Amino acid sequence: MKRSSSISLLISVMIISGYDLCAKDSTTYGKTPAEYMPYGRFFEPYRRFFLEPLEYTGYGRNIPEPENITSVKIGFIGPIIRTISETTGGITNDIPLKVNQRTMRWDGYRASHEGALGIKMLQGAMLAIEKANSAGGYREKIPYHLVVKNDNGEWRSSGKAVVDLAYKDMVWAIVGTIDGANSHIAIRVALKIEIPIMNTADTDPTFVETNIPWVIRGITDDRQMCYLLADFAFKKMKLKKVAAFRVNNRYGRMSIDEFRDAATRLGFPFIAELNYEDGDIDYTSQLERIKNLDADGVITYGNARESALILNQMREMGMDQWFLGSDRMVTQEFLDIVGDTPGNIVAGYPYDPTRDDPVFDQFRNDFRERFGEYPETYASHGYDGVSMVIKAIEKAGLNRALIRDELVAMTSYHGVTGIKEYDTVFSDRSPAYLAILEDGKFEFYSFEEMLKIKHPSDG
């Protein structure tokens, strides 16, 4: 037998035998399990990336603090206005628009879908500012001030927002944003300006793969969530024929990427990968194709409303497969639409909001008192992001380069979303969780807890 064949057989045997290859290795980028590595654990790549800490070796650390300031400004960029967005294919102008009652879209345009998410992120950021000011503000002398910019309009809005925040508003750091395209633009502008950006909502795995030393991501990304979903789908539930049905934008295309690769490397490539447009309400043609392929699972990446409508249409068509999805499904909006008998549903999630944690409990109570409802993931991560920026400012002083240094030095941080663990490219690598819908609500499972879930064949 040839050596290559022997190695392939050995890999197959070890994968089939259990979870031995699933141990997360902190010396690999993104804590990628060996079996999900592009060439497996038995083939050494020519070069590995993103394992060395990013450094900023430029100018700025010796700039003295300004005098006679009346507030310490922190920038916020997010989709906070429901408008027509170029990033989803529309344009902004003053032409009156009508909603097409058949498609429920703006005629000729695509309405932004992220405004509600941005508002939650803003609420969390506001609460963090208010808490810091109630404690006396910057070094108990000067109040913090959140300068808010919307990036839900023209395609270049996030870049312009960074410029305005840095040069006109003179903020010391920026928190935001959600949309993957806007986030990539924002961080490239920040690189030129040399101002720290704390991202709390873009889960695109490629976000931190730009080698920009001014960027920190404070949320577990889709790389971690997809690995856990793949473990659950192919090892625990023993699925073999999974079809993908995702939104046709950067979020849907990039965020599902790690699940796609994991499925392929385990020997179960997608039997189909179809897409839909934001705002669609009829998915019959795509679902008919998936049904005819006899899929035993369907994974989607999109927003809560569209994901719920897809699921309802699947069930109406007699499709009772496992329905897998992203963290954006784990919302009350999704639950309200799918009703009482949605079938088997699982999603990845960046943290466990049901854990016993006094820090999180206090935040939940404070948030409810302030806004009249409990926080969800965008509010919670927005609060953590601004809190980390404030902690860095308190320690570093009013100097952007030093604030950046303090942020990247926080390799571990206990926030309201849990203990955050940062890697060499300043991305939160905290463990992801599974959110499984049980009796009308989502229950959350760690990797270890997932291993204990019984498969129907277990008896």
Which residue type is seen at 146? L
Per-residue pLDDT for 112 more than 90? no
Q: Report the percentage of the chain scoring pLDDT > 70.
A: 85
Q: What is the sign, positive or negative, of the torsion defined by CA atoms of 359, 362, 366, 371?
A: positive
pLDDT band at 450 (very low <50, low <70, confident <90, very high): very high
Q: Are 368 and 447 in contact (CB under 8 A)?
A: no
pLDDT band at 457 (very low <50, low <70, confident <90, very high): low
Q: What is the mean pLDDT of the chain?
A: 87
Would you call 294 exposed, middle or buried from its count of C-beta atoms within 10 A (0-12, 13-18, 19+)?
exposed
Relative to beta strand 242-247, strand 297-299 is parallel
- 0.85 exceeded by the pTM? yes
Per-residue pLDDT for 16 more than 80? no
pLDDT band at 454 (very low <50, low <70, confident <90, very high): confident
Distance CA 236, CA 20 (A): 14
- pLDDT reported for residue 330: 97
Q: Are 32 and 257 in contact (CB under 8 A)?
A: no
The DSSP code sequence of 192-221 is HHT--EEESS---GGGGTT--TTEEE-S--
Per-residue pLDDT for 97 more than 80? no
Per-residue pLDDT for 292 more than 60? yes
- pLDDT reported for residue 98: 47
Distance CA 119, CA 152 (A): 12
C-alpha closest to that of 272 among 225, 344, 221, 321: 321
Contacts of 292 (CB under 8 A, 6+ apart): none
Q: Report the percentage of the chain scoring pLDDT > 90.
A: 73
DSSP state of 66: P
The segment(s) of the chain belonging to CATH 3.40.50.2300 are: 72-221+356-421, 223-349+433-458
Q: Are 322 and 240 in contact (CB under 8 A)?
A: no
Please write the tens of the pLDDT for every residue from 195-235: 999 999 999 999 999 999 999 999 999 999 999 999 999 99
Class (C level, CATH) for 72-221+356-421:
alpha beta
Per-residue pLDDT for 13 more than 50? no
Beta bridge partners of 106: 99
**Buried-state track 339-366, b at ≥16 Cβ within 10 A, e below 16:** eeebeebbbbbbbbbeeebeebeebbeb
Q: How far is CA 80 from its chain centroid?
A: 18
Distance CA 381, CA 392 (A): 17
Q: Extract the runs of DSSP E, i.e. beta strands, from 97-201.
A: 99-100, 105-106, 144-150, 174-175, 197-199
Per-residue pLDDT for 110 more than 70? no
Per-residue pLDDT for 104 more than 80? no
C-alpha closest to that of 108 among 92, 96, 90, 95: 90
pLDDT band at 8 (very low <50, low <70, confident <90, very high): very low
Structure tokens at 235: 């090892």
Relative to beta strand 272-276, strand 242-247 is parallel
Place of tokens 């910019």: 149
- pLDDT reported for residue 38: 81
- pLDDT reported for residue 435: 97
Place of tokens 């980028």: 29
- pLDDT reported for residue 47: 83
128 or 41, higher pLDDT: 128
Beta bridge partners of 243: 272, 298
Structure tokens at 330: 């784990």
- pLDDT reported for residue 91: 42
Which residue type is seen at 364? R
Distance CA 339, CA 315 (A): 11
- pLDDT reported for residue 34: 84
Per-residue pLDDT for 322 more than 70? yes
- pLDDT reported for residue 125: 98
| CATH architecture of structural domain 223-349+433-458 | 3-Layer(aba) Sandwich (3.40)
Please write the tens of the pLDDT for every residue from 130-185: 999 999 999 999 999 999 999 876 667 899 999 999 999 999 999 999 988 899 99
Per-residue pLDDT for 44 more than 90? no
Per-residue pLDDT for 88 more than 70? no
Q: Are 411 and 422 in contact (CB under 8 A)?
A: yes
Please write the tens of the pLDDT for every residue from 340-359: 889 999 999 999 999 999 99
- pLDDT reported for residue 45: 79
